[in-house]
Amino acid sequence: MADNWAICPRCKQLVTAELAALKDLHYGTIPEQEYLNLVAKVEQVEETSCRTLGEHYEIGIQDNEFRISYRGACRVCGFSKTFDVKEPVRDKSGE
Q: What is the pLDDT of residue 71?
A: 96
- According to the model, what pLDDT value does residue 94 have? 54
In which order are the strands placed within the sheet that holds 65-74? Answer: 4-6, 53-62, 65-74, 80-88
Domain ranges of the chain: 4-94
Give 9-51 pLDDT, tens digit per residue.
999 888 888 778 888 888 888 898 988 888 888 777 767 778 8
pLDDT at position 1 over 70: no
Give the CA-trace dihedral at 70, 75, 79, 83, to 10 degrees. 10
pLDDT at residue 86, as a whole number: 95
pLDDT of residue 67: 95
Residue 59: its pLDDT value, please? 93
pLDDT in tens, 45-76: 767 778 899 999 999 998 899 999 999 999 99
